[in-house]
A and B are shown apart, each in its own frame.
Chain A
Amino acid sequence: MSEPFDPDSFEPAGGPQTRDATGLPAPLADLQLRLQQLRPRQPQLDLALLERLAAGGGVSPPRAATGFSKMQLALAVAAAWLCGAIFGAALLLSTGFRTSDALTQGQLAASDARVPTAAAVETVPASDEMPDRGAVADTATPQTATAEAERQDAQRTKPGGPKRLLEINERFWESPLRVNSLRLQPSEQVFIRAPRQPNELSVASRSANGPGADATSATAASHSDSARPINLMQPATPKSRQQLLDDLLNLPTSDLY
């Protein structure tokens, strides 16, 4: 703890002869006295500033002169900038949402205006035909046994079959454009009803549905005179539920349009 400041304590007590120079020889003491008679130049100091500092006023003008302190002005400017930034960001976000929503609506309207093809008209979702097709398949030939096994597997694991996959896809893909395109596009999971129809129509439908149906061309040709409905879109090798889901998810986007 330091002691209180006392300026009088800094003044040396007594003359220069009585201070630390008492042990000096006479010539040196005389020289010291002569040197002390020379007064150094007084420095040019800003005494007004020093006195103001000593009085506690500080260097900056008093607060009453400006009305507001610098801290208050800085806070006000910062708050104004913050409010402006928040309002601008909100405006930009709302504008962006409106633009993207209008664009989506326009694209949806354009995709809904498409006319479905003949093959698409002929195709019926398999879920509508599942009970009938299952009943017919009980009397199917050994060539259709594989397809029947796959169908039973699909029915056992997931009621609804391929339609269920589409529902999953609709849930998984959030874009309405993509789901709408899937609805219009014939895929492997769409079964074709072929009750007692000539082979030309069946082959035409098969070729329109991609290479997955080529493997069943022999089966369709050999049993074209049969009274039973033949699933022309059934793959040669049975696919599991997971494989069907993977195929559906891996559809390239360019094929959707």
Chain B
Amino acid sequence: MSQIDEQQLRCIVAGHAAALALYARQWCSSPDDAVQEALIELLEQNPPPRDAIAWLFTTVRRRALNQTRGEQRRSQHQQRAAAGREPWFQPALDANLTSAEVEAVLERLDPTDREIVVAKVWGELSFEQIATLVQRSSSHVHRRYHHALSILHNYLQSETPSSQQPSATRVRTL
């Protein structure tokens, strides 16, 4: 069985590299390296994995966690990297949801819930694939996804007036 060729690689990078980087960003401060190493490892697989995208998410997760262990040993460097980190999302074209708001609400989620949301919304994985990824049952993943979306909805609903409230009060005070 042949390995992954260049065309298949370009397709994977164009369609899933950003989601993979966002997925790795939850654990490490250099997600690009984790994605790059995972792609190299994918190209070395012979035969290639049956579900390459799910395999990539698993590999990126493992490599990001390994990077995190190394970063924890260098806590000061990690703090500096966290202070000057890049934004998670590209600037939104519409003003419906801003990147900073989504980052803020995602960071408030439980790590497992956040992992499930990222894998589902931006990674476009099925619940079965996510269940394999997080080593839980599919129904469990489904319930937690609903629960995480509810929490996000509540946060966004509550933050919108609260974020407008200080500015309004500031305007009034001024």
**A44: CB under 8 A from chain B?**
yes
Q: Which residues of A contact B150 (CB under 8 A)?
A: 28
Cα distance A46–B40 in the bound complex, in angstroms:
10
Q: Is the Cβ of A51 less than 8 Å from the Cβ of B6?
A: yes
Q: A24-B149, A28-B146, A34-B96 are in contact. Are A41 and B22 (CB under 8 A)?
A: yes
Q: Is the Cβ of A36 less than 8 Å from the Cβ of B47?
A: no
Q: Is the Cβ of B40 less than 8 Å from the Cβ of A20?
A: no
Determine the interface band of chain A, counting residues with CB < 8 A from chain B.
35 or more
**B70: CB under 8 A from chain A?**
no
Number of A-B contacts (CB under 8 A): 132
Query: In the complex, how many angstroms separate the beta carbon of A40 from the nearest chain B beta carbon?
Result: 4
Question: Among the listed B2, B6, B21, B50, which residue makes an inter-chain contact with A42, where contact means beta carbons less than 8 Å apart?
Answer: B21
Question: Among the listed B7, B8, B89, which residue makes an inter-chain contact with A39, where contact means beta carbons less than 8 Å apart?
Answer: B89
Q: A35-B102, A50-B13 are in contact. Are A20 and B18 (CB under 8 A)?
A: no
Question: Among the listed B1, B4, B18, which residue makes an inter-chain contact with A54, where contact means beta carbons less than 8 Å apart?
Answer: B4
Q: Is the Cβ of B40 less than 8 Å from the Cβ of A53?
A: yes
Consensus secondary structure, chain B interface = helix
Q: Is the Cβ of A2 less than 8 Å from the Cβ of B50?
A: yes
Q: Is the Cβ of A38 less than 8 Å from the Cβ of B97?
A: yes
Contact with B along A44-85 (1 / 0, CB 8 A): 111101110111100000000000000000000000000000
Q: Is the Cβ of A27 less than 8 Å from the Cβ of B153?
A: yes
Q: Is the Cβ of B90 less than 8 Å from the Cβ of A38?
A: yes
Q: Is the Cβ of A2 less than 8 Å from the Cβ of B1?
A: yes
Question: Among the listed B5, B92, B156, which residue makes an inter-chain contact with A38, where contact means beta carbons less than 8 Å apart?
Answer: B92
**A43: CB under 8 A from chain B?**
yes
Query: In the complex, how many angstroms separate the beta carbon of B141 from the nearest chain A beta carbon?
Result: 10
Cα distance A222–B152 in the bound complex, in angstroms:
134
Give residues in B with beta carbon < 8 Å to A.
Answer: 1-13, 15-22, 31-32, 35-36, 39-40, 43-44, 47-53, 86-90, 92-94, 96-97, 99, 102, 117, 120-122, 124, 126-127, 142, 146, 149-150, 152-153, 156
Give residues in A with beta carbon < 8 Å to B.
Answer: 2-5, 7-8, 10-12, 16, 19-21, 24, 27-28, 31-32, 34-47, 49-51, 53-56
